[in-house]
Amino acid sequence: MTDVKVNDMADRQKLSYIAAQAADARLNVELETEGMTLNIGPQHPATHGTLRIIVRLDGEQVIWAEPGAGYMHRGYEKLTEVRTFPQVTALVNRIDWLGSFANEVPFILAAEKLMDVEAPPRAQWIRTILFELSRIANVSLFLGDLGVQLGAITPVFMAFRDREYVLNLIESATGGRFHPNFDRIGGLKEDLPAGWITETKQVMKKLRNFCDEIDDLLFGNEIFQSRLRGIGVIPPEVAKQYGLSGANLRASGVDWDLRRDQKLPLAYDKVDFKVWTHPDGDSFARCWIRLQETREATKIVDQLLDGIPSGSVMAKVPRIIKVPEGEAWVSTENPLGEMGYYVVSKGDLGPFRVKIRSASFNNISIVPWVLRGVYVPDIISILASLYFILGDIDR
Protein backbone atom coordinates (compact mmCIF):
# COMPACT_ATOMS: atom_id res chain seq x y z
CA MET A 1 0.00 0.00 0.00
CA THR A 2 1.47 3.32 -0.96
CA ASP A 3 0.97 6.45 1.06
CA VAL A 4 0.59 8.69 -1.95
CA LYS A 5 -1.98 11.37 -1.26
CA VAL A 6 -5.09 11.35 -3.41
CA ASN A 7 -4.44 14.76 -4.87
CA ASP A 8 -1.08 13.59 -6.09
CA MET A 9 -2.63 10.51 -7.63
CA ALA A 10 -5.34 12.51 -9.34
CA ASP A 11 -2.81 15.03 -10.63
CA ARG A 12 -0.48 12.32 -11.82
CA GLN A 13 -3.29 10.61 -13.66
CA LYS A 14 -4.46 13.83 -15.24
CA LEU A 15 -0.98 14.68 -16.42
CA SER A 16 -0.51 11.25 -17.94
CA TYR A 17 -3.76 11.55 -19.84
CA ILE A 18 -2.91 14.98 -21.13
CA ALA A 19 0.54 13.79 -22.16
CA ALA A 20 -0.95 10.85 -24.03
CA GLN A 21 -3.38 13.07 -25.84
CA ALA A 22 -0.68 15.51 -26.74
CA ALA A 23 1.41 12.70 -28.11
CA ASP A 24 -1.50 11.47 -30.20
CA ALA A 25 -2.64 14.89 -31.28
CA ARG A 26 0.14 15.52 -33.72
CA LEU A 27 -0.33 12.10 -35.25
CA ASN A 28 -4.10 12.65 -35.46
CA VAL A 29 -3.63 15.86 -37.35
CA GLU A 30 -1.23 14.27 -39.77
CA LEU A 31 -3.43 11.27 -40.38
CA GLU A 32 -6.70 13.26 -40.33
CA THR A 33 -8.38 10.86 -37.95
CA GLU A 34 -11.86 11.32 -36.68
CA GLY A 35 -13.33 10.17 -33.43
CA MET A 36 -15.30 6.98 -33.10
CA THR A 37 -18.38 6.30 -31.09
CA LEU A 38 -18.29 2.97 -29.35
CA ASN A 39 -21.38 1.41 -27.90
CA ILE A 40 -20.73 -1.01 -25.06
CA GLY A 41 -23.79 -3.04 -24.23
CA PRO A 42 -26.60 -3.32 -23.31
CA GLN A 43 -25.83 -6.99 -23.68
CA HIS A 44 -22.20 -7.41 -22.84
CA PRO A 45 -20.40 -9.99 -20.76
CA ALA A 46 -18.52 -7.40 -18.80
CA THR A 47 -21.33 -5.21 -17.59
CA HIS A 48 -23.21 -6.57 -14.62
CA GLY A 49 -26.38 -6.68 -16.57
CA THR A 50 -27.95 -4.47 -19.16
CA LEU A 51 -25.98 -1.27 -18.88
CA ARG A 52 -25.27 0.57 -22.06
CA ILE A 53 -22.27 2.86 -22.20
CA ILE A 54 -21.74 5.13 -25.16
CA VAL A 55 -18.23 6.45 -25.43
CA ARG A 56 -16.73 8.76 -27.93
CA LEU A 57 -13.14 7.92 -28.62
CA ASP A 58 -10.16 9.73 -29.97
CA GLY A 59 -7.86 6.92 -30.86
CA GLU A 60 -7.75 4.86 -27.73
CA GLN A 61 -8.77 7.57 -25.30
CA VAL A 62 -12.24 8.46 -24.17
CA ILE A 63 -13.35 12.01 -24.77
CA TRP A 64 -16.92 11.67 -23.61
CA ALA A 65 -18.81 8.85 -21.95
CA GLU A 66 -22.43 8.42 -21.10
CA PRO A 67 -24.08 5.47 -19.44
CA GLY A 68 -27.50 4.68 -20.81
CA ALA A 69 -29.49 3.21 -17.96
CA GLY A 70 -33.09 2.15 -18.00
CA TYR A 71 -32.91 -1.23 -19.65
CA MET A 72 -33.94 -2.86 -16.43
CA HIS A 73 -36.33 -0.16 -15.22
CA ARG A 74 -39.25 -1.99 -13.74
CA GLY A 75 -41.04 0.90 -12.14
CA TYR A 76 -40.55 -0.03 -8.49
CA GLU A 77 -41.66 3.25 -7.02
CA LYS A 78 -44.95 3.13 -8.87
CA LEU A 79 -45.52 -0.52 -8.02
CA THR A 80 -45.05 0.08 -4.31
CA GLU A 81 -48.00 2.44 -4.33
CA VAL A 82 -50.42 -0.36 -5.18
CA ARG A 83 -49.04 -3.02 -2.93
CA THR A 84 -49.33 -3.69 0.78
CA PHE A 85 -46.33 -3.57 3.06
CA PRO A 86 -45.56 -7.32 3.04
CA GLN A 87 -45.94 -7.35 -0.73
CA VAL A 88 -43.53 -4.48 -1.05
CA THR A 89 -41.06 -6.40 1.11
CA ALA A 90 -41.26 -9.31 -1.29
CA LEU A 91 -40.84 -7.02 -4.27
CA VAL A 92 -37.99 -5.02 -2.86
CA ASN A 93 -35.79 -8.10 -2.50
CA ARG A 94 -35.18 -7.93 -6.19
CA ILE A 95 -33.49 -4.56 -6.39
CA ASP A 96 -30.02 -5.67 -5.44
CA TRP A 97 -30.44 -9.22 -6.44
CA LEU A 98 -27.20 -10.61 -5.17
CA GLY A 99 -27.52 -9.62 -1.55
CA SER A 100 -31.28 -9.75 -1.35
CA PHE A 101 -31.91 -9.74 2.37
CA ALA A 102 -30.08 -6.47 2.66
CA ASN A 103 -32.73 -4.75 0.57
CA GLU A 104 -35.57 -5.67 2.86
CA VAL A 105 -33.97 -4.41 6.05
CA PRO A 106 -34.06 -0.63 5.57
CA PHE A 107 -37.63 -0.79 4.31
CA ILE A 108 -38.78 -2.83 7.27
CA LEU A 109 -36.89 -0.57 9.64
CA ALA A 110 -38.59 2.48 8.13
CA ALA A 111 -42.00 0.87 8.51
CA GLU A 112 -41.18 -0.10 12.08
CA LYS A 113 -40.10 3.47 12.76
CA LEU A 114 -43.45 4.71 11.55
CA MET A 115 -45.26 2.13 13.62
CA ASP A 116 -43.07 2.82 16.65
CA VAL A 117 -42.40 -0.87 17.02
CA GLU A 118 -39.03 -2.38 17.70
CA ALA A 119 -38.19 -5.95 16.87
CA PRO A 120 -37.14 -8.12 19.81
CA PRO A 121 -33.37 -8.45 20.39
CA ARG A 122 -33.17 -11.94 18.96
CA ALA A 123 -34.75 -10.78 15.76
CA GLN A 124 -32.36 -7.85 15.56
CA TRP A 125 -29.34 -10.11 15.93
CA ILE A 126 -30.57 -12.59 13.36
CA ARG A 127 -31.36 -9.74 11.01
CA THR A 128 -27.82 -8.50 11.37
CA ILE A 129 -26.38 -11.95 10.78
CA LEU A 130 -28.43 -12.43 7.63
CA PHE A 131 -27.51 -8.92 6.54
CA GLU A 132 -23.83 -9.72 6.81
CA LEU A 133 -24.34 -13.06 5.09
CA SER A 134 -25.96 -11.31 2.18
CA ARG A 135 -23.02 -8.93 2.11
CA ILE A 136 -20.65 -11.89 1.92
CA ALA A 137 -22.71 -13.51 -0.83
CA ASN A 138 -22.76 -10.30 -2.80
CA VAL A 139 -19.14 -9.32 -2.51
CA SER A 140 -17.78 -12.82 -3.05
CA LEU A 141 -19.43 -12.79 -6.45
CA PHE A 142 -17.97 -9.36 -7.04
CA LEU A 143 -14.51 -10.71 -6.38
CA GLY A 144 -15.08 -13.53 -8.81
CA ASP A 145 -16.54 -11.28 -11.46
CA LEU A 146 -13.67 -8.88 -11.03
CA GLY A 147 -11.37 -11.56 -12.33
CA VAL A 148 -13.59 -12.30 -15.31
CA GLN A 149 -13.80 -8.69 -16.31
CA LEU A 150 -10.06 -8.34 -16.26
CA GLY A 151 -9.50 -11.57 -18.07
CA ALA A 152 -8.85 -14.03 -15.25
CA ILE A 153 -11.50 -16.70 -15.60
CA THR A 154 -10.69 -19.01 -12.70
CA PRO A 155 -11.79 -16.94 -9.70
CA VAL A 156 -15.42 -16.88 -10.78
CA PHE A 157 -15.74 -20.64 -10.41
CA MET A 158 -14.30 -20.45 -6.94
CA ALA A 159 -16.64 -17.60 -6.15
CA PHE A 160 -19.67 -19.55 -7.26
CA ARG A 161 -18.53 -22.58 -5.32
CA ASP A 162 -18.05 -20.69 -2.10
CA ARG A 163 -21.16 -18.66 -2.60
CA GLU A 164 -23.14 -21.89 -2.70
CA TYR A 165 -22.28 -22.46 0.95
CA VAL A 166 -23.66 -19.09 1.94
CA LEU A 167 -26.74 -19.57 -0.21
CA ASN A 168 -27.32 -22.94 1.44
CA LEU A 169 -27.24 -21.27 4.82
CA ILE A 170 -29.65 -18.58 3.76
CA GLU A 171 -31.90 -21.18 2.22
CA SER A 172 -31.99 -23.36 5.29
CA ALA A 173 -32.91 -20.37 7.44
CA THR A 174 -35.32 -18.56 5.18
CA GLY A 175 -36.44 -20.94 2.48
CA GLY A 176 -35.06 -19.07 -0.50
CA ARG A 177 -31.60 -19.10 -1.96
CA PHE A 178 -32.12 -15.71 -3.39
CA HIS A 179 -34.90 -13.36 -2.45
CA PRO A 180 -35.48 -14.69 1.04
CA ASN A 181 -38.47 -12.45 1.84
CA PHE A 182 -37.87 -13.22 5.47
CA ASP A 183 -38.17 -9.87 7.19
CA ARG A 184 -41.51 -8.81 8.60
CA ILE A 185 -42.60 -5.63 10.31
CA GLY A 186 -41.90 -6.39 13.94
CA GLY A 187 -39.38 -9.15 13.47
CA LEU A 188 -38.75 -12.12 11.30
CA LYS A 189 -40.95 -14.74 9.75
CA GLU A 190 -39.67 -17.60 11.89
CA ASP A 191 -36.77 -18.70 13.99
CA LEU A 192 -33.53 -20.32 12.92
CA PRO A 193 -33.41 -24.06 12.35
CA ALA A 194 -31.46 -26.33 14.66
CA GLY A 195 -27.77 -26.66 13.94
CA TRP A 196 -27.65 -23.49 11.88
CA ILE A 197 -25.23 -21.74 14.16
CA THR A 198 -22.58 -24.46 14.03
CA GLU A 199 -23.00 -24.76 10.29
CA THR A 200 -22.56 -21.03 9.83
CA LYS A 201 -19.37 -20.99 11.83
CA GLN A 202 -17.88 -23.62 9.55
CA VAL A 203 -18.98 -21.76 6.46
CA MET A 204 -17.35 -18.60 7.76
CA LYS A 205 -14.07 -20.46 8.02
CA LYS A 206 -14.43 -21.60 4.43
CA LEU A 207 -15.11 -18.06 3.32
CA ARG A 208 -12.06 -16.74 5.07
CA ASN A 209 -10.09 -19.32 3.11
CA PHE A 210 -11.77 -18.08 -0.03
CA CYS A 211 -10.76 -14.51 0.75
CA ASP A 212 -7.19 -15.62 1.26
CA GLU A 213 -7.25 -17.50 -2.01
CA ILE A 214 -8.53 -14.49 -3.88
CA ASP A 215 -5.98 -12.32 -2.16
CA ASP A 216 -3.26 -14.58 -3.43
CA LEU A 217 -4.66 -15.30 -6.84
CA LEU A 218 -5.92 -11.90 -7.87
CA PHE A 219 -4.61 -9.17 -5.66
CA GLY A 220 -1.09 -10.47 -5.58
CA ASN A 221 -0.97 -10.76 -9.33
CA GLU A 222 1.16 -8.08 -10.94
CA ILE A 223 -1.05 -7.84 -14.00
CA PHE A 224 -4.01 -7.15 -11.74
CA GLN A 225 -2.11 -4.48 -9.87
CA SER A 226 -0.82 -2.72 -12.94
CA ARG A 227 -4.27 -2.72 -14.46
CA LEU A 228 -5.90 -1.21 -11.43
CA ARG A 229 -3.43 0.95 -9.60
CA GLY A 230 -3.69 4.62 -10.41
CA ILE A 231 -6.67 4.09 -12.68
CA GLY A 232 -9.93 5.90 -12.13
CA VAL A 233 -8.89 8.10 -9.24
CA ILE A 234 -11.80 9.80 -7.52
CA PRO A 235 -10.90 12.53 -5.03
CA PRO A 236 -12.98 12.59 -1.83
CA GLU A 237 -14.72 15.91 -2.53
CA VAL A 238 -15.98 14.67 -5.86
CA ALA A 239 -17.05 11.41 -4.28
CA LYS A 240 -19.13 13.21 -1.67
CA GLN A 241 -20.70 15.54 -4.20
CA TYR A 242 -21.88 12.65 -6.31
CA GLY A 243 -23.05 10.71 -3.31
CA LEU A 244 -20.82 7.71 -3.77
CA SER A 245 -21.18 5.32 -0.91
CA GLY A 246 -19.90 2.11 0.51
CA ALA A 247 -16.49 0.92 -0.51
CA ASN A 248 -16.25 3.55 -3.23
CA LEU A 249 -16.40 6.35 -0.70
CA ARG A 250 -14.08 4.69 1.77
CA ALA A 251 -11.57 4.03 -0.98
CA SER A 252 -11.20 7.78 -1.41
CA GLY A 253 -10.27 8.17 2.20
CA VAL A 254 -13.62 9.23 3.65
CA ASP A 255 -14.25 7.42 6.91
CA TRP A 256 -18.00 6.90 6.78
CA ASP A 257 -19.71 3.64 7.55
CA LEU A 258 -23.42 3.61 8.30
CA ARG A 259 -23.08 0.55 10.48
CA ARG A 260 -20.92 2.40 12.92
CA ASP A 261 -22.04 5.99 12.48
CA GLN A 262 -25.75 5.53 12.77
CA LYS A 263 -27.98 4.25 15.52
CA LEU A 264 -30.33 1.63 14.14
CA PRO A 265 -32.10 -1.27 15.83
CA LEU A 266 -29.54 -3.73 14.52
CA ALA A 267 -26.85 -5.46 16.50
CA TYR A 268 -23.84 -3.61 15.12
CA ASP A 269 -23.13 -1.80 18.35
CA LYS A 270 -22.61 -5.15 20.04
CA VAL A 271 -19.67 -6.20 17.92
CA ASP A 272 -16.21 -4.91 17.18
CA PHE A 273 -15.35 -4.39 13.60
CA LYS A 274 -12.89 -2.33 11.66
CA VAL A 275 -13.91 0.13 9.02
CA TRP A 276 -11.40 -0.06 6.19
CA THR A 277 -10.36 3.04 4.29
CA HIS A 278 -7.72 3.63 1.70
CA PRO A 279 -6.17 6.98 0.80
CA ASP A 280 -5.63 6.40 -2.91
CA GLY A 281 -9.10 6.51 -4.39
CA ASP A 282 -8.16 4.41 -7.40
CA SER A 283 -9.71 1.21 -8.69
CA PHE A 284 -7.33 -0.98 -6.77
CA ALA A 285 -8.33 0.69 -3.52
CA ARG A 286 -12.02 0.03 -4.16
CA CYS A 287 -11.45 -3.63 -4.90
CA TRP A 288 -9.06 -4.09 -2.03
CA ILE A 289 -11.45 -2.57 0.47
CA ARG A 290 -14.22 -4.91 -0.62
CA LEU A 291 -11.97 -7.87 0.00
CA GLN A 292 -11.14 -6.65 3.48
CA GLU A 293 -14.79 -5.96 4.15
CA THR A 294 -15.73 -9.50 3.26
CA ARG A 295 -13.25 -10.82 5.74
CA GLU A 296 -14.51 -8.36 8.30
CA ALA A 297 -18.06 -9.51 7.65
CA THR A 298 -17.13 -13.09 8.42
CA LYS A 299 -15.65 -11.93 11.71
CA ILE A 300 -18.78 -9.95 12.51
CA VAL A 301 -20.91 -13.01 11.87
CA ASP A 302 -18.71 -15.10 14.14
CA GLN A 303 -19.03 -12.60 16.96
CA LEU A 304 -22.76 -12.34 16.51
CA LEU A 305 -23.25 -16.08 16.46
CA ASP A 306 -21.64 -16.39 19.85
CA GLY A 307 -24.05 -14.08 21.53
CA ILE A 308 -27.53 -14.43 20.04
CA PRO A 309 -30.01 -13.65 22.79
CA SER A 310 -32.93 -15.97 23.26
CA GLY A 311 -36.52 -14.92 23.04
CA SER A 312 -39.12 -14.54 20.37
CA VAL A 313 -38.42 -13.35 16.89
CA MET A 314 -41.59 -11.38 16.41
CA ALA A 315 -42.98 -8.45 18.33
CA LYS A 316 -46.67 -8.03 19.00
CA VAL A 317 -48.06 -6.52 15.87
CA PRO A 318 -51.59 -6.84 14.51
CA ARG A 319 -52.24 -9.39 11.87
CA ILE A 320 -53.20 -6.97 9.16
CA ILE A 321 -50.74 -4.15 9.42
CA LYS A 322 -51.76 -0.60 8.78
CA VAL A 323 -48.84 1.69 9.26
CA PRO A 324 -49.83 5.05 10.78
CA GLU A 325 -49.38 8.31 8.95
CA GLY A 326 -45.94 9.76 8.72
CA GLU A 327 -42.67 9.86 6.87
CA ALA A 328 -39.50 8.01 7.69
CA TRP A 329 -36.07 7.71 6.18
CA VAL A 330 -33.81 4.79 6.98
CA SER A 331 -30.62 3.91 5.21
CA THR A 332 -28.19 1.11 5.88
CA GLU A 333 -24.75 0.09 4.76
CA ASN A 334 -25.70 -2.38 2.08
CA PRO A 335 -23.15 -4.44 0.17
CA LEU A 336 -23.29 -1.97 -2.70
CA GLY A 337 -23.26 1.18 -0.64
CA GLU A 338 -25.84 3.24 1.13
CA MET A 339 -29.33 2.08 0.40
CA GLY A 340 -32.22 3.92 1.88
CA TYR A 341 -35.98 4.09 1.77
CA TYR A 342 -38.03 7.23 2.29
CA VAL A 343 -41.42 5.82 3.19
CA VAL A 344 -44.48 8.05 3.19
CA SER A 345 -47.49 6.41 4.73
CA LYS A 346 -51.06 7.60 5.02
CA GLY A 347 -52.35 5.03 7.44
CA ASP A 348 -53.23 2.59 4.71
CA LEU A 349 -52.40 -1.05 4.11
CA GLY A 350 -49.60 -0.04 1.84
CA PRO A 351 -47.26 2.91 1.48
CA PHE A 352 -48.28 6.14 -0.17
CA ARG A 353 -44.91 6.82 -1.73
CA VAL A 354 -41.60 5.05 -1.37
CA LYS A 355 -38.47 6.72 -2.62
CA ILE A 356 -35.79 4.10 -3.04
CA ARG A 357 -32.33 5.55 -2.77
CA SER A 358 -30.17 2.91 -4.31
CA ALA A 359 -26.42 2.97 -4.04
CA SER A 360 -25.53 2.07 -7.61
CA PHE A 361 -27.51 4.97 -9.05
CA ASN A 362 -25.16 7.43 -7.42
CA ASN A 363 -22.14 5.23 -8.00
CA ILE A 364 -22.75 5.16 -11.72
CA SER A 365 -23.66 8.82 -12.04
CA ILE A 366 -19.98 9.53 -11.64
CA VAL A 367 -19.09 7.54 -14.78
CA PRO A 368 -19.22 10.50 -17.18
CA TRP A 369 -16.80 12.33 -14.91
CA VAL A 370 -14.41 9.50 -14.20
CA LEU A 371 -14.15 8.09 -17.70
CA ARG A 372 -12.76 11.20 -19.34
CA GLY A 373 -9.30 10.67 -20.72
CA VAL A 374 -9.32 6.98 -19.91
CA TYR A 375 -8.15 4.23 -22.25
CA VAL A 376 -10.64 1.72 -23.58
CA PRO A 377 -9.53 -1.33 -21.55
CA ASP A 378 -9.62 0.80 -18.43
CA ILE A 379 -13.30 1.52 -18.98
CA ILE A 380 -14.08 -2.04 -18.04
CA SER A 381 -11.77 -2.10 -15.07
CA ILE A 382 -13.14 1.16 -13.69
CA LEU A 383 -16.69 -0.07 -14.06
CA ALA A 384 -15.70 -3.33 -12.43
CA SER A 385 -14.23 -1.52 -9.46
CA LEU A 386 -17.20 0.80 -9.03
CA TYR A 387 -19.41 -2.27 -8.79
CA PHE A 388 -23.01 -1.79 -9.58
CA ILE A 389 -25.97 -4.08 -10.02
CA LEU A 390 -28.41 -3.12 -12.73
CA GLY A 391 -31.45 -3.68 -10.60
CA ASP A 392 -29.99 -1.21 -8.17
CA ILE A 393 -29.39 1.46 -10.81
CA ASP A 394 -32.64 1.07 -12.62
CA ARG A 395 -35.00 -0.05 -9.89
Partner 1 sequence: MGLVDRGRLPAPLTTLFNLGRSYSLWVYQWGLACCAIEMGAAFGSPRYDVMRLGVIPLPASPRQADLVVISGTVTDKMAPSVKRLYEQMPEPKYVISMGSCANCGGPYWDSYSVTKGVDQIIPVDIYVPGCPPRPEALLEGIVLLQQRIKNEDMGARWRGEGTRARNAEPIVVGGGPIE
Partner 2 sequence: MSDTPPQPEPTPELVHDTVREGVVSALRAALGDGLIDSVIKPNDDMWVRVSADVWQQTGRVLRDTVGCDYFCFLSAIDWLPSPYGRGEDDPTEPPPERDNTIKQGYAGGETRMQVFARVTNLSQHFGVTIKADVADVEPCVDSWVTVYAGANWHERECHEMFGIDFRGHPDLRNMYLPTDFEGHPLRKDFPLLARMVKPWPGIVDVELLPGDDTDDPAAEAEPT
Which residues sit at the interface with partner 2, rule CB under 8 A? 69-70, 73, 75, 77-79, 81-84, 115-117, 122, 191, 237-238, 240-243, 254, 256, 261-262, 310-314, 316-320, 322, 324-329, 331, 338, 340, 342, 344, 346, 348-350, 353, 355, 357, 361-362, 365-366, 369, 394
x-marked contacts with partner 1 along 29-68 as a string, rule CB under 8 A: -------------xx-----xx------------------
Identity at 12, one-letter amino acid code: R
90 binds partner 1 (CB under 8 A): yes
Cβ proximity to partner 1, 189 vs 299, nearer residue? 189
Helix, strand or coil for residue 327?
Answer: strand
- 70-76 contact pairs (CB < 8 A, 24+): 70/394, 71/42, 71/390, 71/394, 72/390, 72/391, 72/393, 72/394, 73/394, 73/395, 74/391, 74/394, 74/395, 75/395, 76/354, 76/356, 76/395
240 binds partner 1 (CB under 8 A): no
336 binds partner 1 (CB under 8 A): no
Of the candidates 270, 280, 348, 310, which has an alpha carbon nearest to the alpha carbon of residue 12?
Answer: 280
Residue 174 CA to residue 224 CA, distance in Å, equals: 37
- Find the shortest distance in angstroms from Cβ 355 to partner 2: 5
Backbone angles phi, psi at 215, to 5 degrees: -60, -45
What residue 335 binds from partner 2, partner 1, none (CB within 5 to 8 A, per partner kind)? none
141 binds partner 1 (CB under 8 A): yes
x-marked contacts with partner 1 along 188-227 as a string, rule CB under 8 A: ----------------------------------------
What residue 391 binds from partner 2, partner 1, none (CB within 5 to 8 A, per partner kind)? partner 1
Which H or E element spans position 337? Answer: strand 337-345
Q: What share of residues in the chain are helix, strand, coil (percent, to 5)?
A: 50, 10, 35
Q: ∠ at Cα 343 (340, 346), nearest 5°?
A: 175
- Find the shortest distance in angstroms from Cβ 71 to partner 1: 5
Cβ proximity to partner 2, 26 vs 263, nearer residue? 263
What residue 90 binds from partner 1, partner 2, none (CB within 5 to 8 A, per partner kind)? partner 1
- Find the shortest distance in angstroms from Cβ 178 to partner 1: 6
79 binds partner 1 (CB under 8 A): yes
Residue 276 neighbours by CB under 8 Å, 6+ apart: 250, 289, 292, 293, 296
What residue 57 binds from partner 2, partner 1, none (CB within 5 to 8 A, per partner kind)? none
- Find the shortest distance in angstroms from Cβ 157 to partner 1: 6
Of the candidates 103, 124, 209, which has an alpha carbon nearest to the alpha carbon of residue 165?
Answer: 209
Cβ proximity to partner 2, 140 vs 331, nearer residue? 331
Cβ proximity to partner 2, 141 vs 188, nearer residue? 188
- Residue 131: how many other CB atoms lie within 10 Å: 27
Task: Please give the full DSSP string across 230-290, using - where no structure is assigned.
Answer: TSS---HHHHHHHT--THHHHHTT----HHHHS--SSGGGGS--PPP--SS-SHHHHHHHH
Cβ proximity to partner 2, 291 vs 370, nearer residue? 370
Residue 321 CA to residue 347 CA, distance in Å, equals: 10
Residue 301 CA to residue 196 CA, distance in Å, equals: 12
* DSSP state at residue 49: S
156 binds partner 1 (CB under 8 A): yes
What residue 178 binds from partner 2, partner 1, none (CB within 5 to 8 A, per partner kind)? partner 1
What residue 177 binds from partner 2, partner 1, none (CB within 5 to 8 A, per partner kind)? partner 1
Residues that bind partner 1 (CB under 8 A): 42-43, 49-50, 70-75, 78-79, 82, 90-91, 94, 97-98, 141, 156-157, 160-161, 163-164, 177-179, 390-391
